[in-house]
Structures are given as C-alpha cells and as structure tokens.
Amino acid sequence: MSAAADTLSRRPVPVARGGAVQSVRDSLVVARRNLIRMARIPEVVIFGLVQPIMFVVLFSYVFGGSIAVGGSTDPDTYRQFLMAGIFAQTVTFATAGAGAGIADDMHKGLIDRFRSLPMARGAVLTGRTLADLVQTALTLVVLAIVAVIVGWRIHNSVAEALAGFALLLLLGYAFSWIGALIGLTVRTPEAATSGGLIWLFPLTFISNAFVPADNMPTVLRTIAEWNPFSATVQAARELFGNLPPGYPVPSAWPMQHPVWASLIWSVVIIAIFRGLAVRKYRSATA
C-alpha cells in the first residue's frame, strides 16, 4: 500500500508549457474544441438569434413612431438609429453564454482534465472566449441581414462599416471575459446565466442604445454618456452613418470621441477581467 502511494507521489505532474507561440496554439486547440461542440448543438445558436430578432421587430414597428430622434418621429429615422444599439446588446448578451459554458465545464470536471495536460494555463479561458467570439460574429451577420430586410441601411463606406462591426465584436469579446470570471465564481451554469444577465439590463438600458441620452434626467444622462456600452453604440452609429440630421452631440468626451472611447473601454475591460479570470482559474483548480 505504501509502495503504491510512493509510486504515485513520484509520478511526474504535467508542467504547463510556456511561450507566447505555444499559448496561442493551445488556445486555438481549445477554441476548436468549443466550436465543434457548438456545431453539434445548433439549437443554442438558433435560440440565441431569437431574442435580438424580436427586439429588432418590436422596437422598429411597435415603438418606432413613438420615439423622437433628432426632432423626428419618423419610424425609418428611429430604425436607423436603433440598429447599432441592438447590435451592441446582442454582442454583450453573449456574456451569459460564456459564463454558463465555463461554469458547466467546471461543474463536469472538464477543467480539471485540461489542468492535467501540459498546456498554457490561460489557454482554456482564451480558447473559450475566442469560440464565443466566432459564434457572436455569426449571430451579428444574421442580425445585420434581418436589419437590412426591415429597412436599415449603411450610409458610409465599406471600410467604415467594417470598423463599426469590429468595434462591436471587440466589445463583445471584452464582455466575454466578464462572463468567464462569473462562470468561474459561481457553482452552477444556471447561476452563471442569471449572474451574466442581471447586470446587463441596467447597463444596456441606461445608455443611448434605444433612446437619445439627452432625454434622460441629469444623473442618468451622465451615467449613459460615460457608459462603455454607449461609447460603442455611438461609434457604430457614426461609422455606419446612422446619426440622424439634427441629432445633438453631448458634451461628454466619450460621446464626442466615441471610436477612441470604445477602443479604450474595451481594452481596459479585457486587461482587467482577463487578469482576474486567469487568476481565479488558477486558484479554483489549484
């Protein structure tokens, strides 16, 4: 008995391989594993599309003629204004899926299996967030097609439009690291889903996504103008050419320089929450 225990104690423990190149390779392997898993459960992607499509239809046709944008209550004007907000909401709501996926892997012990392999420690989380980014990009493409069908149009160049979508995806990737941290913190996938959504609703609604921020009370307007979500929405509207004539430009710096504000916010969120998530992953599996 003691001899067997002695043998087990002398068994070499896998050591994580270092180096940036190896870390990228490990991350891509994990991302591929998650994408294959997502492809085998297509209903997850389908159901993920239902909510944003409903938001597009409901806000466009139910509220379109009731909300004034730039002094106009024309439904088409509101539709052009709305779509950047719907796109941003869609990419950020993927946070709940990222958190639930990681919580599920933790619950099933899959993270422990990854830990037993000689791979970069951060690769498990990076691979997961990259897979979620690919899924979010596909969702965004489908949603853009639906938006075009209901009358949304891009009025700037192709390069500017692509830059707008890139900023949206960068924000979604940044928020997926918040989801990763939540998934590592809670005990069940259900709790991760709830924890990933409960704070997103005030974040998205106290913003310029669905109504102009200048119509809000002073305190809420200030919060909305400095909201990272609002910065990306405003940047996307500018790059898509969807700001209506006469739309007032707020005095807050993020709203006057939304592209830079969106980039700064997304990079800061990634830097902070990636560090916290990787540290939590190491302590949770130690």
Those residues with Cβ within 8 angstroms of residue 70's Cβ, 6 or more apart along the chain or in another chain: 77, 81, 212, 243, 244, 245, 246, 247, 248
User: Which domain range does residue 69 map to?
Assistant: 19-284
User: In whole angstroms, what is the distance from residue 95 CA to residue 87 CA?
Assistant: 14
139-142 long-range Cβ contacts below 8 angstroms, 24+ apart? 139/45, 139/48, 139/49, 139/52, 139/90, 139/94, 140/87, 140/90, 140/91, 140/165, 140/168, 140/169, 142/49
Structure tokens at 72: 């106009």
Structure tokens at 219: 């305190």
pLDDT in tens, 11-30: 444 444 556 777 788 777 77
Buried b (16+ CB within 10 A) or exposed e, 116-129: eeebbbbbbbbbbb
CA 2 to chain centre: 51
Is 13 contained in some domain? no
Q: Would you state the pLDDT for residue 15?
A: 46
Is 53 contained in some domain? yes
Contact of 153 with 80, CB cutoff 8 Å = yes
Q: Would you state the pLDDT for residue 5?
A: 44
User: In whole angstroms, what is the distance from residue 183 CA to residue 277 CA?
Assistant: 9
Structure tokens at 248: 């007032």
Q: Would you state the pLDDT for residue 238?
A: 94
Is 276 contained in some domain? yes
| Overall domain count for the chain | 1
Angstrom CA distances, 53 to 100, 120, 143, stand at: 22, 38, 7
Q: Report helix, strand or coil for 246.
A: coil
Chunked in runs of 10, what are the mean pLDDT values of the chain (286 residues)?
44 51 78 76 72 79 72 80 91 82 73 67 82 88 89 92 96 92 83 81 90 87 93 95 82 92 96 91 67
Is 260 contained in some domain? yes
Beta bridge partners of 72: 69
Is 1 contained in some domain? no
Q: Would you state the pLDDT for residue 169?
A: 96
Is 8 contained in some domain? no
Largest CA distance in the chain: 83
Q: Would you state the pLDDT for residue 18?
A: 53
User: pTM for this structure?
Assistant: 0.85
Is 3 contained in some domain? no
Is 2 contained in some domain? no
